[in-house]
Amino acid sequence: MMNRYIIILLLATTMTSVYAQKKQQAKWEYDIKIGLNIGGNSPLPLPVEIREIKSYSPTFAPSIGADITHHLNKRWGITSGIKLEKKGMSTKARVKNYRTEIVENGNKLKGNWTGNVKTKATGYHLTLPLLCTYRASEKINIKAGVFLSYLLDGEMSGYVNNGYLRKDDPTGDKVVFDSKTKGTYDFSDEMRKLNWGLQAGADYRITKSLKLFADLAWGLNDTMKDSFKTITFSMYPIYFNFGIGYNL
């Protein structure tokens, strides 16, 4: 009889321990995510110097990361993690009195440009989100919060053509470039290392382990350093990230 009680007690203790462990694990959720970024670095609002956006092309910009979510209760939780991502774009615009610095035949020219500008912007970032999550249903999870992003390597370069540069100021000497003549520029060293901003999005669970996700990350500080004065307006990174996640 005593042995029976001991066995029952051991079974009850084991079941309680397993239940408590599963309950504890249920408070935490781990995801691996792979996605793509589409967006660009944009001034807000568009300055008067930019008269026309002639073309825009997103570059292939993959992302891979891991999220960890702590569920506070059945509805609310907190999500953080780490993500390695690429962001990039290519644009062509027609501008007037656009402040810039270009290189022609090895000589640096600084002044106000009127004509075409082609820009390529690329960055490799390590990003950390901190999000509040709300479980709207068994399949849909809504997220919103902030992010901090560190630039590992970046490029901001391009060229001007089919226009003219007023050296030093809007009334300076005129240097003309035809459609076949290019003045290049490279401001890569002036890109800001730390960016921060707002992030919001949602997950949709396809199966128990697979989910689709979509997030919008809106940077709130300039892509370029505060000390960079060549371009007179700020540019903000605004990117849409979407992809698939696997729940561990």
Domain boundary assignment for the chain: 27-247
Q: Return the CATH number of 27-247, one of 2.40.160.20, 3.50.50.60, 1.10.1740.10, 4.10.220.20.
A: 2.40.160.20
Instruction: Compute the distance between CA of residue 29 and CA of residue 80 in angstroms, rounded to an integer.
Output: 11
pLDDT the model gives residue 105: 78
Per the prediction, the chain carries an average pLDDT of 89
- Beta bridge mates, 94: 52, 116
More confident residue, 94 or 18: 94
The region of weakest confidence among 4-8, 26-30, 195-199, 237-241 is: 4-8
* Angle at CA of residue 20, ends 203 and 246, nearest 5°: 25
Q: How far is CA 153 from CA 40, 115, 122, 192, 193, in A?
A: 16, 29, 8, 10, 9
User: What pLDDT, in 10s, does the model give residues 94-122?
Assistant: 999 999 999 887 788 999 999 999 999 99
| Whether the predicted pLDDT of 77 surpasses 90 | yes
- How does residue 18 score in pLDDT terms, banded at 50, 70 and 90? very low
| Whether the predicted pLDDT of 233 surpasses 60 | yes
pLDDT the model gives residue 25: 52
pLDDT the model gives residue 14: 46
